[in-house]
């Protein structure tokens, strides 16, 4: 039973933001389609609440000691079974951001390049540049990075730390690389002897009948590919729990770092708690429910955009993840004026330029942080604001 004062309401975030508990909150009165967060009512407070008690009952003081460096075996075993690899190929992390940080220090040296898609996860870019790595952007199409572009980027003859890709439900574009595209990208990277880091934060959130193709890591048997997984988008980012899949030698190298030898697993009790959820079907039931909720939100937003927007805006309906990527066909529609008129209409959206040196004008809309009614209202406001702007021009 969850105590009554932890009941979830959108306002609970504002209160806890003022109290210095949460990182960010939407401005009051604004329909916020900016960040890729789950709406508070989609965060599983009731499901997570008993898990810590269950883990403590099962493991006693072992749940409060330093955990095994690579992460608690029960969670590693469950993740391995789910993703078709061996437990030795799994390392528990404190989420994708921490895993990427670790990889930048283990695989990279300041001054080296990371090859990235021209448009990709803004904070992933930031983590890599924070480590003195510079980003070499390559062109993409409707399936993500183009193999010829990757080949060219790897042919400079200089030092590349790794290639960073998001082939499934890409942030921000929502694209999915098909299996043959994946095989081509793997072949190019293997030919150049460069590792791929596959950021797979959204894979479990497919919203259509067709499942996405196997991960790059699965296709490569984890040779030359490190896949990053996270519970941030399926359960909640506050758990700070994720994992990476890599060949066992690399897992061993990474778990032999001073930080882990000194401090043990990065998130021991939470790993044991989440293993309770995954071990008996509750996680899968949660995912089915969450997918249905996200599908409803995606369909509502897409339908409202289609009904309200003129032909000057194009977008594909994403097959999964959190985002719709808008493209403005009219060359004179600037990102700043679109953002400003959205803001005046009480809607926040993410500027496309945040995600790299994007050609043309784009905005990203997240359907994860609002109710279906909120999304329909936001789309209507955007359509009116942008139509108005067009007629004023
Ligand atoms: C592509 C991608 N990778 C990683 C993350 C962050 O993951 P985590 O919360 O596990 O650090 C996000 C969150 O927005 C994301 O969109």
pLDDT for 26-52, tens place per residue?
888 899 999 999 999 999 999 999 999
Residue 390 and residue 385: Cα distance in Å, rounded? 9
Return the minimum-mean-pLDDT range out of 311-315, 327-331, 388-392: 388-392
- For residue 339, pLDDT over 50 is answered with yes
- For residue 289, pLDDT over 50 is answered with yes
In the three-class reduction of DSSP (H, G, I as helix; E, B as strand; rest coil), residue 331 is classed as coil
Residues 240 and 344 in one domain: no
- Average pLDDT for the chain: 93
CB atoms within 10 A of CB 333: 17
Residues 218 and 106 in one domain: yes
Among residues 261, 280, 299, the one where a domain terminates is 280
Cβ–ligand 1 contact at 75 (below 6 Å): no
Bridge partners, 119 (sequence order): 356
In a domain, 222, yes or no: yes
Using one digit for the tens of pLDDT, what is the confidence trace for 119-158?
999 999 999 999 999 999 999 999 999 999 999 999 987 7
Cβ–ligand 1 contact at 230 (below 6 Å): yes
Bridge partners, 164 (sequence order): 116, 197
Residue 367 and residue 227: Cα distance in Å, rounded? 25
Pairing verdict, β 90-93 and 347-348:
unpaired
- For residue 6, pLDDT over 50 is answered with no
Distance 201 CA to ligand 1 centre (A): 6
* Atom 7 of ligand 1: nearest residue by CA position: 96
Looking at residue 26, its pLDDT comes to 86
Q: Band the pLDDT of 15: cuts 50, 70, 90.
A: confident
Residue 272 and residue 254: Cα distance in Å, rounded? 21
In a domain, 230, yes or no: yes
Residues 212 and 89 in one domain: yes
Quick one: which atom of ligand 1 is closest to the CA of 121?
A: 1
Q: Band the pLDDT of 2: cuts 50, 70, 90.
A: very low
Distance 229 CA to ligand 1 centre (A): 9
- Percent of the chain, pLDDT > 70? 95
CA 207 to chain CA centroid, Å, is: 15
Looking at residue 149, its pLDDT comes to 97
pLDDT mean over 352-370: 94
Residues 187 and 335 in one domain: no
In a domain, 89, yes or no: yes
Cβ–ligand 1 contact at 121 (below 6 Å): yes
CB 17 within 8 A of CB 25: yes
Task: State which of 94, 144, 201 you would mutate to test the pocket of ligand 1, scoring each by most atoms of that ligand within 8 A of its C-beta.
Answer: 201
- For residue 67, pLDDT over 80 is answered with yes
Residues 223 and 327 in one domain: no
Residues 310 and 337 in one domain: yes
CB 245 within 8 A of CB 90: yes
Residues 24 and 63 in one domain: no
> Please, what is the Cα angle at 84 between 80 and 85, to 5 degrees?
55
In a domain, 42, yes or no: no
Cβ–ligand 1 contact at 199 (below 6 Å): yes
Distance 387 CA to ligand 1 centre (A): 33
Distance 93 CA to ligand 1 centre (A): 13
Q: Band the pLDDT of 55: cuts 50, 70, 90.
A: very high
Cβ–ligand 1 contact at 166 (below 6 Å): yes
Read off the tokens for 366.
Answer: 């997240």
* Atom 12 of ligand 1: nearest residue by CA position: 201
Distance 66 CA to ligand 1 centre (A): 26
In a domain, 2, yes or no: no
Looking at residue 392, its pLDDT comes to 53
The number of domains in the chain is 2
In the three-class reduction of DSSP (H, G, I as helix; E, B as strand; rest coil), residue 198 is classed as strand
Cβ–ligand 1 contact at 97 (below 6 Å): yes
Residue 256 and residue 261: Cα distance in Å, rounded? 6
Looking at residue 42, its pLDDT comes to 96
Residue 34 and residue 368: Cα distance in Å, rounded? 10
Which CATH number characterizes residue 351's domain?
3.90.1150.10
pLDDT mean over 50-59: 98
pLDDT mean over 298-323: 94
pLDDT mean over 152-178: 95
Residues 218 and 288 in one domain: no
Looking at residue 11, its pLDDT comes to 56
Query: Which residues form the domain of 25?
Result: 8-37+284-392
Cβ–ligand 1 contact at 99 (below 6 Å): no
Task: State which of 22, 119, 230 you would mutate to test the pocket of ligand 1, scoring each by most atoms of that ligand within 8 A of its C-beta.
Answer: 230
In a domain, 43, yes or no: no
Among residues 224, 251, 280, the one where a domain terminates is 280
Residues 13 and 60 in one domain: no
Question: What is the DSSP code (8-state) at residue 223?
Answer: S
Residue ranges in 87-178 assigned as alpha helix (H): 96-107, 122-130, 147-153
In the three-class reduction of DSSP (H, G, I as helix; E, B as strand; rest coil), residue 114 is classed as strand
pLDDT mean over 57-65: 98
In a domain, 106, yes or no: yes
Cβ–ligand 1 contact at 260 (below 6 Å): no
- For residue 3, pLDDT over 80 is answered with no
Residues 184 and 265 in one domain: yes
**Long-range CB contact pairs, 150-158, < 8 A, 24+:** 150/115, 150/185, 150/188, 150/189, 151/188, 151/191, 151/192, 153/115, 154/115, 154/188, 154/189, 154/192, 154/194, 155/192, 156/113, 158/113
- Percent of the chain, pLDDT > 90? 87
Rg (CA), the chain: 21
Residues 85 and 216 in one domain: yes
- For residue 68, pLDDT over 60 is answered with yes
Quick one: which atom of ligand 1 is closest to the CA of 322?
A: 16
Q: How many CA atoms lie within 13 A of 142 on its CB side?
A: 6
Distance 32 CA to ligand 1 centre (A): 18
- For residue 309, pLDDT over 60 is answered with yes
In a domain, 3, yes or no: no
- For residue 8, pLDDT over 60 is answered with no
Q: How many CA atoms lie within 13 A of 27 on its CB side?
A: 9
Q: Is the peptide bond before 172 cis (omega within 30 degrees of 0)?
A: yes
Q: Which H helix or E strand runs over 298?
A: helix 282-308
Distance 379 CA to ligand 1 centre (A): 25
Residues 373 and 226 in one domain: no
Among residues 260, 280, 300, the one where a domain terminates is 280
pLDDT mean over 367-378: 96
Q: Which residues in 23-36 are b (16+ Cβ under 10 Å) and which e?
A: eebbeeeebbbbbb
Distance 111 CA to ligand 1 centre (A): 24
pLDDT mean over 191-218: 97
Which CATH number characterizes residue 181's domain?
3.40.640.10
Q: Report residue 199: phi and psi, to 5°.
A: -90, 110
Looking at residue 332, its pLDDT comes to 73
């Amino acid at each position: 039973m969850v105590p009554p004062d932890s009941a979830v309401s959108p306002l609970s975030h504002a209160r806890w933001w003022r109290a210095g508990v949460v990182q960010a909150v939407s401005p009051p009165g604004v329909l916020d389609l900016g960040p890729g967060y789950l709406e508070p009512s989609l965060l599983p407070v009731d499901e997570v609440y008993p898990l810590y008690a269950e883990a403590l009952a099962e493991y006693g003081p072992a749940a409060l000691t330093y955990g095994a460096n690579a992460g608690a075996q029960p969670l590693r075993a469950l993740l391995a079974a789910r993703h078709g690899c061996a437990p030795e190929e799994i390392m528990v992390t404190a989420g994708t951001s921490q895993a990427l940080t670790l990889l930048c220090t283990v695989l990279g040296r300041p001054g080296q390049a990371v090859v990235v898609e021209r448009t990709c996860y803004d904070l992933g870019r930031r983590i890599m540049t924070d480590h003195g790595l510079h980003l070499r952007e390559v062109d993409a199409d409707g399936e993500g990075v183009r193999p010829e572009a990757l080949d060219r980027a790897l042919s400079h003859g200089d030092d590349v730390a790794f290639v960073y890709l998001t082939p499934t439900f890409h942030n921000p574009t929502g694209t999915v690389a098909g299996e043959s595209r994946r095989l081509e990208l793997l072949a190019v990277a293997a030919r150049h002897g460069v590792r791929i880091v596959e950021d797979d934060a959204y894979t479990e959130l497919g919203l259509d009948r067709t499942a996405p193709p196997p991960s790059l890591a699965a296709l490569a048997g984890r040779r030359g590919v490190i896949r990053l997984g996270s519970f941030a988008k399926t359960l909640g980012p506050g758990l700070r729990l994720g994992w990476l899949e890599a060949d066992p030698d690399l897992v061993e190298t990474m778990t032999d770092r001073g930080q882990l030898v000194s401090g043990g697993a990065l998130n021991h009790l939470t790993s044991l708690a989440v293993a309770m959820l995954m071990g008996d079907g509750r996680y899968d039931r949660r995912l089915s429910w969450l997918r249905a909720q996200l599908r409803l939100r995606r369909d509502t937003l897409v339908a409202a955009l289609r009904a309200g927007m003129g032909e000057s805006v194009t977008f594909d309906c994403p097959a999964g993840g959190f985002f719709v990527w808008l493209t403005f066909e009219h060359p004179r529609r600037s990102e700043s004026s679109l953002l400003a008129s959205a803001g005046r209409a009480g809607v926040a959206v993410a500027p496309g330029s945040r995600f790299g040196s994007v050609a043309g004008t784009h905005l990203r809309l997240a359907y994860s942080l609002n109710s279906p009614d909120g999304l329909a209202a936001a789309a209507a406001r955007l359509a009116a604001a942008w139509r108005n702007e067009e007629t004023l021009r």
